[in-house]
């Protein structure tokens, strides 16, 4: 019986050795590879969750921004139609300019509208004004041009002194804008 016990022990040891080799091989090859994959998936999942949280924070800013835009549209659209009209409306503007020149007591008035030209989002109409007067009258007129509701930009200003009259000869180039296509 003793021989059978030794033989049985030896078989047990061989089987246990094979099982140990299989177990070590499993942990060395399969388990470690799967663990690395699980860690990689976990890292990618964490990164995606962080991106989702960042996107949620950015998206939370949109509704208040949309409300602000709507408020601005309501507030500015009424005035903006006067500042940048859809049509050229030159006659009304020229009446306003002529009235300003007369009120400032500026003489030798000459108003010459140029040819309108197109920009990507608007049209521009240049106007040349020539007149004479003293410095305070000219400054008052330019201030009045600045206060006009319609979008107006002074492009150039040329001032010369007239020795004979003691007045200034002024040439003023300005642009008005409209959106008509």
Same domain? 135 vs 169: yes
Q: Are residues 55 and 90 in the same domain?
A: no
Same domain, 170 and 99: yes
55 plus 133 within the same structural domain: no
CA of 71: how far to CAs of 58, 67, 82, in Å?
Answer: 21, 6, 18
Residue 73 lies in a domain: no
Each residue's pLDDT tens digit, 51-103: 988 888 888 887 888 888 887 777 666 665 656 666 667 788 888 888 888 88
Q: What does the alpha-carbon distance between residue 38 and residue 139 come to, in Å, rounded to a whole number? A: 78
Q: Is the pTM of this model over 0.75?
A: no
By three-state DSSP, how is residue 114 classified? coil
Euclidean distance between CA atoms 154 and 82, whole angstroms? 18
């Amino acid at each position: 019986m003793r021989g059978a016990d030794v033989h049985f022990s030896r078989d047990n040891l061989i089987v246990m050795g094979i099982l140990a080799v299989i177990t070590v091989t499993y942990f060395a090859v399969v388990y470690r590879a799967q663990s690395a994959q699980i860690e990689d998936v976990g890292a990618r999942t964490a990164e995606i969750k962080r991106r989702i949280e960042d996107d949620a924070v950015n998206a939370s800013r949109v509704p208040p921004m949309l409300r602000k835009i709507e408020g601005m549209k309501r507030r500015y659209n009424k005035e903006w139609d006067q500042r940048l009209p859809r049509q050229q409306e030159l006659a009304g503007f020229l009446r306003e300019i002529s009235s300003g020149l007369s009120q400032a007591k500026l003489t030798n008035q000459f108003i010459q509208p140029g040819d309108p030209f197109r920009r990507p989002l608007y049209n521009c109409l240049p106007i040349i004004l020539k007149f004479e007067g003293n410095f305070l009258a000219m400054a008052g007129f330019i201030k009045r041009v600045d206060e006009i509701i319609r979008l107006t930009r002074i492009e150039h200003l040329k001032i010369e002194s007239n020795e004979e009259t003691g007045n200034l000869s002024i040439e003023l180039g300005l642009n008005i804008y409209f959106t008509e296509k």
